[in-house]
Amino acid sequence: MSNPSGRRSPNGTGGEAVSIMRKFVRANVVISEFLDRALPRRLRIDGNRTFATEIAPPLLTSNARVYDLGGGARPFVSLSEKRRLGLFVVGLDLDAEELSKAPRGIYDEEIEADLTSFRGRGDADVVICQATLEHVRDGEGALRGIASCVRPGGVVAIFSPSRNAVFARLNRVLPEGMKRRLLFAIYPEKGMGHDGFPAFYDQCLPSDVETIAKRNDLELVERRLFWKSSYFYFFVPAFLAWRIWLGVSALFLRKDAAETYAYVFRRKQ
């Protein structure tokens, strides 16, 4: 139906504003990515993607017992990959409802538990913990829980943001409602993963993880540090300030200045 007054409806005005903002964001992302290409490639690697495609998959061997810790509705292993390799997949999550949202048949066993107090059976060949550590209130307890799941000689693969990352610092100080509205307004696709869950970053530095892992009989196999996150590409001045801060902080904090990191540990025999 036409509008007799000739005025734009509030919904129409709001829709135009959203469209303009998204065009503004896209333009800034394009410019930020162009500027980023001037940096060495090692500073432009996406940690989450690298973990999911290069680091963790080779650890999945035929007929392995795999624990997916915190995967919930979005398990690490696909159903087709599980069937191809004959995996037995155990899903552990704090929320049973999240586990129920996973593709049917992906989990052979579901465990509703708090990872920080959970003690496993020590029977996993592979433990995957992707983007979960930052969401627990007790990082040391969570790493003890992770170590308790894996058998001697088995492996643990962890990916997490660092507590010192600029976006992590902002995440800790901004009110929960405000940061969710900002995040999903700028990057609507972020609502698809763990980004909408509260984050605490307890014991969530690379140095913390290495120290606690060693105390729990986990030997370091591989460490990968990543210096890229997508949060500041939406506004070129913010992107430039973030890149400069990252470079300066790396001089003093070394590995603990990384934005994200990935580890592979092996449980001592």
**25-68 pLDDT tens trace:** 899 999 999 999 999 999 999 999 999 999 999 999 999 999 99
Domain count, the chain: 1
Report d(CA 109, CA 71) in Å as an integer. 13
**Is 192 part of a structural domain of the chain?**
yes
Token code pair at residue 16: 């135009």
Residue 215 within any structural domain of the chain: yes
Query: pLDDT-based confidence at 3, cuts 50/70/90?
Result: very low
Question: What is the pTM (predicted TM-score) of this model?
Answer: 0.87
Burial class of residue 151 (count of CB atoms within 10 Å of its CB; 0-12, 13-18, 19+): middle
Q: Which of 260, 159, 156, 135 is nearest to 214 (CA)?
A: 156
Under the banding of pLDDT at 50, 70 and 90, the label for residue 188 is low
Establish if 126 belongs to a structural domain: yes
* 108-112, 149-153, 189-193, 242-246: least confident range: 189-193
- pLDDT tens digits, one per residue of 216-233: 999 999 999 999 998 899
Res. 193: pLDDT tops 60: no
Q: What are phi and psi of 142, to 5 degrees?
A: -65, -40
Q: Cα separation of 139 and 118, whole Å? A: 12
pLDDT of residue 12: 61
Task: Say which amino acid occupies 135.
Answer: H
* Closest of 59, 94, 93, 50 to residue 77, by C-alpha: 59
Rounded to an integer, the average pLDDT of 125-146 is 97
The answer as to whether 78 is a domain residue is yes
CB within 8 Å of 239: residues ≥ 6 apart: 28, 32, 35, 36, 232, 233
Residue 1 lies inside a defined structural domain of this protein: no
In one letter, which amino acid is 34?
Answer: F
In the predicted model, what is the mean pLDDT of residues 92-112? Answer: 96
Average pLDDT over residues 67-72: 96
Query: Among the ranges 8-17, 110-119, 166-175, which has the highest mean pLDDT value?
Result: 110-119
Least confident of 1-15, 31-45, 102-116, 236-250: 1-15
* Inside any domain, residue 6: no
Report the C-alpha gap between 223 and 158 in whole angstroms: 10
Q: What is the pLDDT of residue 4?
A: 45
Rounded mean pLDDT of 136-158?
A: 98
Q: Residue 113's domain is classified under what CATH number?
A: 3.40.50.150
Is position 212 within any domain? yes
In a domain, 2, yes or no: no
Residue 210: give the domain boundaries. Answer: 11-267
Q: Could you give the CA distance from residue 237 to residue 243 in angstroms, rounded to a whole number?
A: 10
Separation of CA 253 from chain center: 21
Q: Provide the pLDDT for residue 5.
A: 46
> What's the pLDDT score for residue 230?
87
